[in-house]
Chains A and B, each alone.
Chain A
């Protein structure tokens, strides 16, 4: 099986907004982790009705279904990395980065600063993925154009995310969503 992946909160929010998290994680064909700091971060999504209150997301069903595994910091090296990165990132981002670097996991994040720090430390772009990469991988798995369009539209509306022009899948996303 391919190296496990660890999802940062910014990506997790996008996947949850798509309502296709199960399929996207299964299509990745690798074990998916979130760190304990991301698990405890409250995740909210916009609803389709802009006047309605934002919606709090419960991760428990995904964890119970073993689509996501929660992991924590282990050992001195990870602890040291975590604390170092916590001086320049949020706890969830810092913990995800420290774990990915220490265990050679794929780091799935859209966060520009976290990606830059990861590349500086790991130097391996192949161990870096993004929301668009995960969704595109899922879409390649015989997903209908309409279903993909709906999923992307939900990410844009509910998580207010669209990959930036620097993202390698930016053009693909625009073409698929409109």
Chain B
């Protein structure tokens, strides 16, 4: 190597990363200084970027913080942290629950890795962001209905169900959507900065219909309040603010547009010779729209297609949507093959095939062990392991360029 990495790196950036890692570990500068038998002022100077860290000091600091050395010296993408954004907007919640910080940190790291892969492969994310929608002068519900219709039109979705919302928001809008484990009370997080763009984290432990709703909800935040970091809680009580009402109403209108849902409901009604709609049909309709049975019934109540209070009545009678779906052979929670975005995976495999990433780095980008990373490479590139043993090839060179204008 021509020049040592610690001489090339901006000491302020490295210092900030070390400071973040120390804080994430819950250690004071005093404790770190004592562990490393250094003066506290030396730690202060390193973190401020006023003194360059030596290789041996960096190795010891990484060990102390439980981080890989590569985490400090390999990341090229530098952005303002999401965690301070969340902390300033959600001060009370952050002070009550430290695990919230983890969700913000996870979102940031995943988004930075995504941009890093784009940088390595020289394939930036194509973005088609709408300008921020003005919502003053109308109720959150009215504004949400208009925005949802405009967005559906802009994205060319029409008024039918959206079969794969996650892929669509990534491909057609250019949002970064990650599914990862969060505490059960949080359904999603949203943050934005100019380098990373719009980033959404969805709780991967929630069922598909919940995840879909959360995704549409966070998209509503992106469209109306892009510069405010959001945490969406499951609890209804926390969702009464105007911005939360708007995001919920947006999700409702975006996932179940009135015109399309009315038309389908009417068709179902007509198809039944006795002029009745069954619970089974409602469950099937909810599955078609990839929303919960509760969300669908409440939407139909609001559209005045079924009597108001229907959901409350069914719930009072002990109706169990999951049990009903099971009886109807509907799988409400099909497992995602991959939790990371498809494009992210393709970029990671491409970078690996081009020797821009090593296997160890690939595994880190994929948040997996090495053998699982090998399986992803097999699946997304040119090899697969045959049932009868041995590898078979199908040629697909992801790095191959295709002519186009």
- Asked if chains A and B come from one complex, the reply is yes
A→B interface (CB under 8 Å): 9-10, 13, 37, 41-46, 54, 73, 76, 79-80, 82-94, 111-114, 116, 121, 153, 156-162, 177-178
- Say whether B370 faces chain A, with CB atoms less than 8 Å apart: yes
In the complex, which residues of chain B have a beta carbon less than 8 angstroms from the beta carbon of A156? 385, 389-391
A92 to B361 CA separation, bound complex (whole angstroms): 10
> How far apart are A72's CB and chain B's nearest CB, in angstroms?
9
Assuming the contacts A83-B59, A114-B358, asked whether A91 and B4 have C-beta atoms less than 8 A apart, the reply is no
In the complex, which residues of chain A have a beta carbon less than 8 angstroms from the beta carbon of B359? 10, 90, 93, 111
22 A-B pairs with CB atoms under 8 Å apart are A10-B359, A10-B360, A46-B375, A76-B55, A79-B56, A79-B59, A80-B4, A83-B6, A83-B69, A84-B5, A86-B69, A86-B70, A89-B358, A90-B360, A111-B359, A111-B360, A112-B355, A114-B358, A157-B385, A159-B374, A160-B374, A178-B389
In the complex, which residues of chain A have a beta carbon less than 8 angstroms from the beta carbon of B358? 88-90, 93, 111-114
A147 to B55 CA separation, bound complex (whole angstroms): 46
> How far apart are A78's CB and chain B's nearest CB, in angstroms?
9
In the complex, which residues of chain A have a beta carbon less than 8 angstroms from the beta carbon of B58? 83
Assuming the contacts A86-B74, A90-B68, A157-B385, asked whether A80 and B369 have C-beta atoms less than 8 A apart, the reply is no
- The 8 lowest CB-CB distance pairs between A and B, nearest first, are A90-B360, A79-B55, A83-B55, A160-B374, A86-B70, A87-B73, A44-B369, A86-B69
A161 touches B374 (CB 8 A): yes
- Say whether B357 faces chain A, with CB atoms less than 8 Å apart: yes
- Say whether B372 faces chain A, with CB atoms less than 8 Å apart: yes
A54 to B58 CA separation, bound complex (whole angstroms): 34
Assuming the contacts A10-B370, A116-B355, asked whether A91 and B390 have C-beta atoms less than 8 A apart, the reply is no
- Say whether B327 faces chain A, with CB atoms less than 8 Å apart: no
Assuming the contacts A86-B69, A111-B359, A178-B390, asked whether A73 and B4 have C-beta atoms less than 8 A apart, the reply is no
A85 to B4 CA separation, bound complex (whole angstroms): 9
- Say whether B13 faces chain A, with CB atoms less than 8 Å apart: no
In the complex, which residues of chain A have a beta carbon less than 8 angstroms from the beta carbon of B360? 9-10, 41, 89-93, 111
A42 to B4 CA separation, bound complex (whole angstroms): 29
> How far apart are B288's CB and chain A's nearest CB, in angstroms?
30
A44 touches B74 (CB 8 A): no
A82 to B5 CA separation, bound complex (whole angstroms): 10
Assuming the contacts A76-B56, A153-B389, asked whether A90 and B372 have C-beta atoms less than 8 A apart, the reply is no
A42 to B68 CA separation, bound complex (whole angstroms): 13
Range of interface residues on B (Cβ < 8 Å): 20 to 34
In the complex, which residues of chain A have a beta carbon less than 8 angstroms from the beta carbon of B396? none
A80 to B7 CA separation, bound complex (whole angstroms): 11
Assuming the contacts A13-B370, A93-B358, asked whether A82 and B55 have C-beta atoms less than 8 A apart, the reply is yes
> Considering residues A42, A113, A121, A153, which has the most beta carbons from chain B within 10 angstroms of its beta carbon?
A113
In the complex, which residues of chain A have a beta carbon less than 8 angstroms from the beta carbon of B25? none
A13 touches B68 (CB 8 A): no
How would you classify the secondary structure of chain A's contact residues: helix, strand, loop or mixed?
helix
State which residues 338-353 of B face A: CB under 8 Å: none
In the complex, which residues of chain A have a beta carbon less than 8 angstroms from the beta carbon of B34? none
B→A interface (CB under 8 Å): 1, 4-6, 54-56, 58-59, 68-70, 73-74, 355-361, 363-364, 369-372, 374-375, 378, 385, 389-391
> How far apart are A74's CB and chain B's nearest CB, in angstroms?
10
A46 to B356 CA separation, bound complex (whole angstroms): 26
A91 touches B70 (CB 8 A): yes
In the complex, which residues of chain B have a beta carbon less than 8 angstroms from the beta carbon of A80? 4, 55
In the complex, which residues of chain B have a beta carbon less than 8 angstroms from the beta carbon of A177? 390
In the complex, which residues of chain B have a beta carbon less than 8 angstroms from the beta carbon of A157? 385, 389
A162 touches B391 (CB 8 A): yes
In the complex, which residues of chain A have a beta carbon less than 8 angstroms from the beta carbon of B369? 42-44, 54
Contacts A76-B56, A86-B68, A90-B363 aside, 16 further interface pairs with beta carbons under 8 A come to A10-B360, A13-B370, A41-B360, A54-B369, A83-B4, A86-B5, A87-B5, A91-B68, A91-B360, A92-B360, A111-B359, A112-B358, A156-B391, A158-B371, A160-B385, A178-B390
> Considering residues B55, B361, B385, which has the most beta carbons from chain A within 10 angstroms of its beta carbon?
B55
Query: Taking CB as reference atom, which chain B residue is nearest A44?
Result: B369
B4 touches A84 (CB 8 A): yes
A79 to B360 CA separation, bound complex (whole angstroms): 19
B73 touches A13 (CB 8 A): no
A87 to B7 CA separation, bound complex (whole angstroms): 12
B73 touches A83 (CB 8 A): yes
> How far apart are A62's CB and chain B's nearest CB, in angstroms?
18
Query: Taking CB as reference atom, which chain A residue is nearest B362?
Result: A90
> How far apart are B350's CB and chain A's nearest CB, in angstroms?
14
B74 touches A87 (CB 8 A): yes
A156 to B384 CA separation, bound complex (whole angstroms): 11
In the complex, which residues of chain B have a beta carbon less than 8 angstroms from the beta carbon of A159? 371, 374
A160 touches B378 (CB 8 A): yes
A91 to B58 CA separation, bound complex (whole angstroms): 13
